[in-house]
Chains A and B, each alone.
Chain A
């Protein structure tokens, strides 16, 4: 990649080249992640699809061995393992009086609800395929602020949590390096400043109107 003609000095050229290459490769790696966040923003902003409760559900019944687990999440994990299911366990509802346990197991694009009779070991599994749009919405919202104490009980969610954080840090890097690469282009500074100012004015105006 040729150094930018507007720069002088070998060191500055090296900084420019490194920044530009990093911006390019990090941006390319992040492209699909950014598209997923962008598409899911539109989907979340304009919900028109049938909700998960209205989609066809496949149910099956089986028996599981109930282990002596005091912790409800540990019991749910044990049952998840016995059923051979993969996914993130959501809120675990355990009714000790009625000897019932129910919990969702989520994967992007699939929702499974497990209901267990703790007295007999009878388990009912209801599986709903929610589709690619819901998968993107789910990933957009995960790990999220809810069920913090149990979030990350599956390997995929631990990995996604790491990737979601990485997405934020890398987007911040992309925007900062992008600003540097724009500032180097002297010919585009004035127009760029106007556009930056217009964006700032839009956001500040909106915030002043919306936030009391």
Chain B
């Protein structure tokens, strides 16, 4: 055996070993990523799963919250406002009343009163201010745990049918970010799971059947219905 052929064989074996080590490292880290992401988001997944189930079964007694709501009202004095635009008035009014939360609907009533809704999961404040008389009535609506879950599931601060609406409370932004992170986490878990399955030669055929069944049934709803009908 010549020196050159020995060196070629050595280089070839080294490359092969490195490739195997690389593949093994990817496999190990992919598996770790799968269950670490899953463990980090475990409670988030349970929260959104259970609240989703309650949203889809609002007739269940355990999901009832609106009929069991508690309401209280108070009238408070306010100072003259310097703001003129609606959003700015809402902000200044909230500050004066010491109210924090996501500002929802803002409207001017026919009687000239300024109406504002401030939301937090589990509590809604309906404020009606008479700016001329410098007084504001505050109606507080609180709901039970099912109502809190319902609100948490949908607490984004934005509406699909109104792209202009923006989040105006820092914590709404943080909660929305957590929702985004959970969505990305789910994507990572799906992709890492598919990779792990693909590495298992013995389970490929049965896995392909399961994955195909999921893709076909899901695809039927997402694109199949409008294509067929």
Q: Which A residues contact B (CB, under 8 angstroms)?
A: 1, 21, 24-39, 41-49, 51-53, 85-87, 107-110, 129, 132, 135-137, 139, 143-145, 148, 156, 160-161, 163-165, 168, 171-172, 175, 178-179, 181-182, 188, 191-192, 195-196, 198-200, 202-203, 206-207, 209-212
Contact = CB atoms under 8 A, between A and B. Distances in A.
B142 to A, nearest CB: 8
A211 B35 contact: no
Interface residues of chain A: helix, strand, loop or mixed (majority): helix
B218 A32 contact: yes
B56 A164 contact: yes
A49 B161 CA distance: 9
Nearest to B217: A163
B45 A148 contact: no
B210 interface: yes
B222 A135 contact: yes
Nearest to B122: A211
B203 A1 contact: yes
Going nearest first, the 10 A-B pairs with the smallest beta carbon separation are A32-B218, A199-B40, A145-B58, A86-B229, A41-B183, A38-B183, A28-B210, A29-B214, A38-B186, A28-B211
B35 A182 contact: yes
Contacts of B175: 206, 210
Nearest to B55: A145
Contact of A179 (B42, B180, B219): B42
A47 B163 contact: yes
A77 to B, nearest CB: 16
B187 to A, nearest CB: 5
Contact of A24 (B122, B123, B203): B203
Given A21-B203, A28-B194, A107-B226, 10 more contacts: A24-B200, A25-B207, A28-B210, A31-B215, A36-B222, A107-B225, A136-B222, A171-B49, A188-B35, A207-B152
Nearest to A144: B55
Contacts of A107: 225-226, 229
- Per DSSP, are chain B's interface residues mostly helix, strand or loop, or mixed? helix
A108 B228 CA distance: 12
Interface in B111-133: 120-123
Contact of B35 (A30, A36, A156, A181): A181
A36 B218 contact: yes
A199 B43 CA distance: 7
B190 interface: yes
Nearest to B40: A199
A98 B46 CA distance: 49
B213 to A, nearest CB: 6
A28 B189 CA distance: 11
A22 to B, nearest CB: 10
B180 A42 contact: yes
11 contacts: A28-B210, A32-B215, A38-B187, A107-B229, A129-B226, A145-B150, A171-B49, A182-B38, A196-B40, A199-B41, A210-B152
A27 B222 contact: no
A203 B35 contact: no
B88 interface: no
A179 to B, nearest CB: 7
Contact of B56 (A41, A42, A161): A161
